[in-house]
Structure 1
């Protein structure tokens, strides 16, 4: 097997295994990985318009931002308010229950990140980051991550109100 082919399948295998572990960890919260990602984006960067949220989602492209948000609204984790600057626009923000769920998701993610930190040597992580950025540069998912990294962080007190 060529090196490039091994890289392709190892990236796919790592993604699938990570998603399997995340799905299992989120199950007690009744959340999917896509829903948890939306909660964390709103916690970190909210309030946001639906379009802004969609531009930061890296989750599977089969997940529509509006469907994800509709499920979170139905679960009373996110609310839609009129935007303070433009009453014609809706602003998405976490409810108090959504803020609690986002905190629980963050704890699950932190445990996953600790496992990754243990598995990957610090010097290897720089090479891995550089390689993965090169592989995803200009792709929809790579652009979504770039948007999230470039977006300002929300104030902790303003994200759930």
Structure 2
């Protein structure tokens, strides 16, 4: 019986990898006209939802990057005029990140593309208990940096800069 279970687990592992890669491929294709990558769109989403954020605070919420210092990713968005940085009043070593007007507009476009992807997922998962699926997947990343980043994305955090 264990061999069958091991085969099922291996199949699930590869299915999760395939779903992640295909979803990222579809998202990248949708975002290309906006000149955004999925990682950049995630930064814009987080700044719209939780900003302003410090660089460390942003890093703690990101799923697309490991660690807590996404400086190169943010630098590209600053150079593109989508994100602005300001010194934090009580700590000159820290910077606060927020969206520019252009960043808000681009984030809205990205949100529409993500909504389309979410609608396709919802259709494909029709009849599946999404809460149970989310709980099962959460268990797979619990106590990992990416699992911690997802756990930090709660409605109670909205508007709370880090």
Q: TM-score, normalised by structure 2?
A: 0.88
Is 1:154–2:144 an aligned residue pair? no
Whether the aligned pair in 1 keeps the contact of 2:88 and 2:95 (CA below 8 Å) is yes
Q: Which has the larger radius of gyration?
A: 2
Whether the aligned pair in 2 keeps the contact of 1:45 and 1:153 (CA below 8 Å) is yes
Whether the aligned pair in 2 keeps the contact of 1:43 and 1:154 (CA below 8 Å) is no
Segments of 5+ residues of structure 1 without an aligned counterpart are 156-161
- Could you say what secondary structure the match of 2:47 adopts? helix
Shift of 1:64: 5.7
- Could you say what secondary structure the match of 1:91 adopts? strand
Q: Which has the higher strand share?
A: 2
Write the distance in 1 (CA, Å) between the matches of 2:102 and 2:133.
36
Return closer, same or farther for 1:150/1:86 CA change in 2, 3 Å cut-off: farther
Q: String of CA shifts for 1:135-154, please: whole Å, max 9, x gaps.
A: 01111111111112265223
| Superposition pairs of residues 1-161 of structure 1, within 5 angstroms | 2-61=7-66, 65-149=70-154, 152-154=157-159
Whether the aligned pair in 2 keeps the contact of 1:34 and 1:63 (CA below 8 Å) is no
Write the distance in 2 (CA, Å) between the matches of 1:50 and 1:14.
29
Structure 1 consecutive aligned stretches of length 4 or more whose deviation exceeds 6 Å: none
Shift of 1:95: 0.4
Shift of 1:83: 1.8
- Could you say what secondary structure the match of 1:79 adopts? strand
Return closer, same or farther for 1:86/1:79 CA change in 2, 3 Å cut-off: same
Equivalent pairs counted in the alignment come to: 155
Write the distance in 2 (CA, Å) between the matches of 1:64 and 1:85.
20
Q: String of CA shifts for 1:111-154, please: whole Å, max 9, x gaps.
A: 11111111113543222111101101111111111112265223
Return closer, same or farther for 1:15/1:63 CA change in 2, 3 Å cut-off: farther
Query: Quick check: 1-10 or 66-75, which moved more?
Result: 1-10
